[in-house]
Structure 1
Amino acid sequence: MRRDFSDLDDMRLLYRGNKILSDLFRKGLHSIRQISTTDADAKGMYRFLQNERVSEDDIIMNLASNCKKACKGKYVICIQDTTEINLSSHSRRITKDDFIGTTNAKNSQGLGFFIHPSLVLDAQNGTPYGYAAIKVWNRPLKFTSKFERGYSKLPIEEKESYKWLEVSKNTQASLKDFVPAMVIVQDREGDIYEQFATIPNATTELLVRARTDRKLKDKTSLFSNLETEPAQGSYQIEVDSCAKTKRKKRTATIEIRYKEVELNRPTNVSKAIASSLKLFFIEASETGYTGKDKICWRLLTTMNVENVEIAKNCIEWYSWRWTIEEVFKILKKEGFNIEASELEYASSVRKLSLLIMEVVIKLFLMRLAYAEPELEISSNSCFTEEEEEFLEHQIDHLEGKTEKQKNPYKQKDLKRYVWVIARLGGWKGYESKRHPGITTLWIGLKYFKAAMEGWTISRNVSTR
């Protein structure tokens, strides 16, 4: 399926929106001037982003529509997290209006906004389907501390942390008629009693990393509850080395423990909420290693963990959180660098951020297509027929003399054209080596766009 806009106010806006999506994908840049080939194109993009007839909600609705079409009938994992878009370096230039406010930037009072998406993946193979819901918001321009606002005494609906419940509810509303069941996955910030009490239903489960060592109904503490329990199973994973943290490569043995626990309602939670909740507590802890980076994940879930296989599934699904972190990396400094945008209005930066996030899904599809050979993903999910024709020509130039350097995939298979993009991005083409990553594909797309423009011009000139 094509990941395009399908519902905007008129056909001209629809055309312009889809052209911007296409140009962002092909060129991998945030700068309107660098994306545009003419002044008219640049003006059209600026006007689209500033047009009041194209709201953030309109863009999010179209992104959610793409997601719903892609995941229909699938059992899905919905991963949430928050990222901050820091525009402090543009504080003298950017317009101070209702779309920008203070942020958490270190060493100074930041300026920008926040994005909190619900990224939907296939529960079986991790195929990215898009975003079921996205919340974009900003704080006031005048900074006030939590103490000044009496934050701890506010009802959950008035706290910023309500974003977790709000996006969970919006995810349910968005997908209820499209998927048979979903698991909502969140990091520690999502460990909110009210959420466990109100979000789960017949088709929705929660899987959240435990943040605090809660007191339980039986007077014990959550984190110590599994200390005397025997391991229910174990598995091994390879931990890569990291020069930044001086971590050495190692094989980690992870032991799995799980148990049903009953949480007490915290004192600051409304008495209208259930006084206690039964959940399953899962611990994945590294054994035989005492370093500071020892792996220990403690997860709370509404799922009935009746055997170790279900516990393993929960641990794997939680590990997929890196996917949403990659979305944020590509949106920011390791990819499109949206925080360096030259746009004068935060409202335009917010819209452009949403467009880039949709483009990132195509990058993920390309990587997945290559990493999982058994998956069949159609090439038209990322490329037009004309682009495929150009990529076929590129294959002739990029293939080596040996069979190992030949493109082994058939036409109309996305993997065939990902091979080309990866080669343009610097990948050597050997199947025995590591598969191309997101950064390689992103670099390859930039070369692809430039090469295709030259090919198009040459072909047009030769037919005159």
Structure 2
Amino acid sequence: MDARLSLRYERMVQSYMKVSEPLSAGMKALNDGVSSFAHTQAAWRFYANPMVSLSVLQAPLTAAAHEGITERCGSYALCIHDWSRLAYRHANKADRYAITHASDQGYDLQSSLVISDQTGEPIAPVAQCLVSGVGRQATYEEEVLTPRTHLDEVSRAMEHLEGLGFSRPLVHLMDREGDSVGHYRRWQSSGIQWLVRIRDNPQLTYQGSALASKTLAEQLTYHRARTVQVQGKPHEQYVGEIPVSVTRRSKPSCKKQVQPSVAGEPVMARLVVSRLFNEQGDMIAQWLLLTTLTAPTADTLVLWYYWRWQIESFFKLLKSAGHQLEAWQQESALAVAKRLLVTSMACVTVWAIAVSPQPEVQQLRQLLIRLSGRQMRSKVTFTYPALLAGLETFLALVQLLDSYSPAEIQTLSQTLRSVMHKNV
């Protein structure tokens, strides 16, 4: 990115640190004397610039991931993959498509988020793919190509990420949509390490016998791992594990015609089961996890999967608690994808403020929470939406100080008090 584009990018990131209203056509106006329409037009030109590709906009996010992994990860970096539907009712997006049915119009977003294996705190999104009616736009491929299935797409993203040379090996986390034996074999052949929540019924082989995973879960010996809080109440978590192999035939996904099942090499893995009990001793939740990792303890693996929820928080910050993604009025998936990457850099900035141990940053964090005016639960010192809202107010104050002298601000303050006294 050349110097002029880099400056525009920096200013757009600063603008997208502001919490958006539900109707948000473009970037918010900065307090620099330029009209909001001019800022919107500048953003439109930026997104339409052919030099500003998705890979160019992804580069700062990847750099932030490299730095964050080095500073905040231990033995591994955890990479969470998930999908989110973006519903758009306004018809000015001609490339919308029916995601699940005719009235479900919009785009399909796949994101890959790196988090710390030590704290579970988010670091940066390292790959994103937006599927529209004209194809898929991905940060790791320059061309618009035919959409793949979810797991084929995420497998391509995983293979790309493995080649980026991060300072810690990646562990890829997915929910039950990732439970696919054909993809297990693909990841195994590529040397990819993964942790996936599996369904109850697929068979796993243990000591020569093929049994349903839920049947194997009943045969495990469990130990108490930790006490966790669920809706403010303490619950006990118990964990057990057993070595297994995946030997069953794979069934390729195809909606138009039945595909024959395919045999393959056994996948040696660990079945890790987490059970959650309430104060009355009733089991209220059970996770069946499968992984090829050998070093981390079962307790650690369960905690890693619990941190998978961070990508849901990321989607929430994009869609409803900060940036109102589903109200953007850009007219194409490519423009939405570009704006999404700039907005993601604003999220990365908020995450960095949230975890920094530096005293001056901690002081800034406390100030941002005060400026946000947000209410939080007892003992919760901050939330990402509150930091984002506080940052908006703080940036406005900084721009105010750059635009007016202290004497001018004092005069304006006296004018405001005079108006209030006359009308209150």
TM exceeding 0.5:
yes
Flag the 1:34–1:18 CA change in 2: closer, same or farther, 3 A.
closer
SS in 2 for 1:261: strand
Residue pairs, 1:174-213, within 5 angstroms? 174=164, 177-200=165-188, 204-213=192-201
Q: 2:369 aligns with which of 399, 416, 422?
A: 422
Q: Which residue of 1 aligns with 2:142?
A: none
CA RMSD of aligned residues (A): 3.1
Partner Cα distance (1:416, 1:190) in 2 = 41
Partner Cα distance (1:62, 1:33) in 2 = 19
Q: C-alpha deviations, 1:87-129, integer Å up to 9, x for none?
A: 1x211x23x14xx422237xx5222222212211221123433
8 Å Cα contact 2:319/2:326 also seen in 1? yes
Partner Cα distance (2:27, 2:218) in 1 = 59
Flag the 1:236–1:201 CA change in 2: closer, same or farther, 3 A.
farther
Higher mean alpha-carbon deviation, 33-42 vs 253-262, is at: 33-42
Partner Cα distance (2:376, 2:194) in 1 = 41
Q: 2:246 aligns with which of 260, 263, 272?
A: 263
8 Å Cα contact 2:114/2:122 also seen in 1? yes
> Following TM superposition, by how much is the alpha carbon of 1:179 offset from its aligned partner in structure 2, in angstroms?
1.8
Partner Cα distance (1:81, 1:63) in 2 = 18
Q: Which residue of 1 aligns with 2:129?
A: 135
8 Å Cα contact 2:47/2:335 also seen in 1? yes
What is the total number of aligned residue pairs between the two structures? 379
8 Å Cα contact 2:277/2:283 also seen in 1? no
8 Å Cα contact 1:197/1:273 also seen in 2? no
**Amino acid paired to 1:14:** S
> Following TM superposition, by how much is the alpha carbon of 1:319 offset from its aligned partner in structure 2, in angstroms?
0.8
Q: 2:98 aligns with which of 102, 106, 129?
A: 102
8 Å Cα contact 2:199/2:213 also seen in 1? no
SS in 2 for 1:294: strand
> Following TM superposition, by how much is the alpha carbon of 1:426 offset from its aligned partner in structure 2, in angstroms?
2.0
Q: 1:340 aligns with which of 327, 331, 337?
A: 327
The unaligned stretches of length 5 or more in structure 1 are: 1-7, 142-156, 241-248, 370-375, 378-409
8 Å Cα contact 1:257/1:284 also seen in 2? yes
Partner Cα distance (1:460, 1:234) in 2 = 57
> Following TM superposition, by how much is the alpha carbon of 1:297 offset from its aligned partner in structure 2, in angstroms?
1.1
Q: Which residue of 2 aligns with 1:118?
A: 112
Higher mean alpha-carbon deviation, 200-209 vs 212-221, is at: 200-209
Q: Which residue of 1 aligns with 2:138?
A: none
Q: C-alpha deviations, 1:318-358, integer Å up to 9, x for none?
A: 11111111110111122210211132333212211121122
Partner Cα distance (1:433, 1:232) in 2 = 29
Q: Which residue of 2 aligns with 1:452?
A: 398
8 Å Cα contact 2:239/2:275 also seen in 1? yes
Partner Cα distance (2:364, 2:277) in 1 = 43
Flag the 1:212–1:170 CA change in 2: closer, same or farther, 3 A.
farther
Q: 1:437 aligns with which of 372, 375, 383?
A: 383
8 Å Cα contact 2:182/2:250 also seen in 1? no
Higher mean alpha-carbon deviation, 347-356 vs 130-139, is at: 130-139
Q: Which residue of 2 aligns with 1:298?
A: 288
**Amino acid paired to 1:79:** I
Q: Which residue of 1 aligns with 2:155?
A: 165
> Following TM superposition, by how much is the alpha carbon of 1:139 offset from its aligned partner in structure 2, in angstroms?
4.4
Flag the 1:366–1:65 CA change in 2: closer, same or farther, 3 A.
closer
**Amino acid paired to 1:11:** A
**Amino acid paired to 1:173:** G
Q: Which residue of 1 aligns with 2:48?
A: 50
Residues 1:90 and 2:90 aligned together: yes
Flag the 1:289–1:15 CA change in 2: closer, same or farther, 3 A.
same
- Decide which structure has greater strand share: 2
8 Å Cα contact 1:232/1:258 also seen in 2? no
> Following TM superposition, by how much is the alpha carbon of 1:42 offset from its aligned partner in structure 2, in angstroms?
2.5
8 Å Cα contact 1:238/1:252 also seen in 2? yes
The unaligned stretches of length 5 or more in structure 2 are: 136-146, 253-259, 410-424
Q: Which residue of 1 aligns with 2:81?
A: 80
Partner Cα distance (1:193, 1:162) in 2 = 12
> Following TM superposition, by how much is the alpha carbon of 1:448 offset from its aligned partner in structure 2, in angstroms?
1.9
Partner Cα distance (1:44, 1:343) in 2 = 13
**Amino acid paired to 2:345:** E
Q: C-alpha deviations, 1:414-458, integer Å up to 9, x for none?
A: 11111111010126899x842121222222122223333322222
Q: Which residue of 2 aligns with 1:222?
A: 213
Flag the 1:350–1:291 CA change in 2: closer, same or farther, 3 A.
farther
Flag the 1:291–1:338 CA change in 2: closer, same or farther, 3 A.
farther
Q: Which residue of 1 aligns with 2:414?
A: none
8 Å Cα contact 1:191/1:210 also seen in 2? yes
Q: TM-score, normalised by structure 2?
A: 0.80
Q: 2:336 aligns with which of 316, 325, 349?
A: 349
Q: Which residue of 2 aligns with 1:71?
A: 69
8 Å Cα contact 2:278/2:284 also seen in 1? no
Residue identity over aligned pairs, in percent, reads 20
**Amino acid paired to 2:193:** E
Partner Cα distance (2:267, 2:191) in 1 = 18
Flag the 1:110–1:427 CA change in 2: closer, same or farther, 3 A.
closer
Q: C-alpha deviations, 1:129-179, integer Å up to 9, x for none?
A: 3123222222459xxxxxxxxxxxxxxx953431221121122122xx232
| Structure of higher RCO (CA pairs closer than 8 Å, 6+ residues apart) | 2
**Amino acid paired to 1:459:** S
Q: TM-score, normalised by structure 1?
A: 0.73
Partner Cα distance (1:265, 1:428) in 2 = 51
> Following TM superposition, by how much is the alpha carbon of 1:194 offset from its aligned partner in structure 2, in angstroms?
2.6
> Following TM superposition, by how much is the alpha carbon of 1:289 offset from its aligned partner in structure 2, in angstroms?
6.8
> Following TM superposition, by how much is the alpha carbon of 1:293 offset from its aligned partner in structure 2, in angstroms?
8.8
